[in-house]
Amino acid sequence: MSFRWENENPNPNSPLKKRWSLNQMVMAMKLQSLSCSPGITDKSNPILSPFPLPITDRTLLLSDELLLKIIALVSDSSTQRNSNSLVCKRWLNLQGRLVRSLRISDWNFLLSGRLIHRFPNLNHVDLLSAALISPKYSDVLLTNRVISMHLSSDSFPYWCFCEDNMLPFQVIDNGLTSLAAGCPNLRRLHVIGATEIGLLTVAEECSTLQVLELQRCSDNILRGIAACGNLQILKLVGHVDGFYNSVVSDIGLTILAQGCKRLVKLELSGCEGSFDGIKAIGKCCQMLEELTFSDHRMGDGWLAAISFCENLKTLRFQSCKRIDPNPGMEEYLGCCPALDRLHLQKCQLRDKKSVAALFSVCRVVREIVIQDCWGLDNSIFSFAMICRRVKLLYVEGCSLLTTEGLECVIHSWKELQSLRVVTCKNIKDSEISPALATLFTTLKELRWSPDTKSLLPSGVMGKKGDKFFKRAR
């Protein structure tokens, strides 16, 4: 005996039928929106299915734009960003859109187009490591202040390692062409071994480029940089001992000055030149505020051209074996009227004539920082007395300077407010005179640790100076 449960004439207006039709319509709309998603691969028609399909990934209900905003909020660390990329291919692509800065170690990754496909929104790219040919497995690391690379043991008989361990110029230019075509919003670029053609391509395609570091630079290559009209921060590396030999002379500096007139910061490392090249930069680059010389090879008399940089606020010397051996007569040196800061780091300050000329050009500075410089004794430091407006002095790692030499100079600075003396072994606590102790009480900031044993008696400190005093422990 059998029973048949079936309504032969179902009522189309029944509440159950209406509810079923509504649920089916809502599910059809959801599935239709998911049909365009890469996570749905079922080719069957979901509208004909009377039951909802199981959805294991609820993020498929979110649009790419909404999910991208969520990922951006939770990606607060590199570990979290790596974890996001491992979820699925969709998250991998979305995480790639959020990457703005990248250092590349494989040049083929750029030439193949995978870089642009994987990271389409880059605005900061570092190509220095990728342009150097290094062995995959090497424990030998050759490093310098501006560049480092891995070497094999067979490279040691040679002196300039980068000359034979760098990609050909054509390959580097092709990579720059691919990068410029895929990253039109590029703002910051680090590259080595490029030619004028490659840099011209970048200048034409990436009009928003503002920061550029170019290593192994020469006068001809600067023609390409001159086309970057919006460039604001530039670092040029011409010669690096043990790595490569390139020449940047007055010709290149003049070309640069005529093309990049919006420069705000300029660093010249291992560059040659003279009075004419620096004068051209000062005359043309009216917005220049910071100028750095690193291991420079400038000719005699170039220091007088600094006075043409009328809006210069910071002058920095790093790892320079000399300043200016023959600066000329003091009355022709001039002065930088807007200069506020003079920084000397790891420089040779043995030549009295050049140091005297330097302080004369920088006589209006308010901040002097001298770190780990050789040859700075009492007689050399006394030339700083011409800087009458100094408010901050920071001396570190100058072993020849004594307490007497320091006191003689800072007593001539009536506007001094901050004094920091660190690791200067010939400056002794026992040699502090009553006049110097009185000066300490008027300072707004005092850091006194000339050696690890320095324990300045609290009796020499007034209330004002003691508040900011830091003892060595």
pLDDT in tens, 207-245: 899 999 999 999 989 988 888 888 999 999 988 887 788
**pLDDT score of 371 more than 50:** yes
CB 324 within 8 A of CB 349: no
**pLDDT score of 361 more than 90:** yes
**pLDDT score of 77 more than 70:** no
**Measuring CA to CA, which residue among 441, 433, 435, 442 is closest to residue 458?**
441
**Measuring CA to CA, which residue among 364, 369, 309, 311 is closest to residue 342?**
369
**pLDDT score of 382 more than 60:** yes
Average pLDDT over every residue of 32-48? 48
**Measuring CA to CA, which residue among 238, 306, 312, 310 is closest to residue 278?**
306
* pLDDT at residue 43, rounded to an integer: 45
Average pLDDT over every residue of 275-285? 94
CB 119 within 8 A of CB 85: no
Average pLDDT over every residue of 200-210? 92
Q: What is the CATH number of domain 61-98?
A: 1.20.1280
Q: What DSSP designation does 165 have?
A: S
pLDDT in tens, 247-273: 899 999 999 999 999 999 999 999 998
Which tokens is 409 given? 């100079």
Mean pLDDT of the chain: 81
CB 191 within 8 A of CB 176: yes
Average pLDDT over every residue of 31-36? 51
| C-alpha separations of 387 from 118, 126, 367, 420 in Å | 54, 40, 10, 17
| C-alpha separations of 402 from 228, 428, 451 in Å | 49, 8, 12
Domain residue limits, the chain: 61-98, 366-458
Burial class (CB within 10 angstroms; exposed 0-12, middle 13-18, buried 19+) of 449: buried
* pLDDT at residue 31, rounded to an integer: 52
pLDDT in tens, 83-103: 666 667 776 776 777 778 889
Report d(CA 202, CA 183) in Å as an integer. Answer: 10
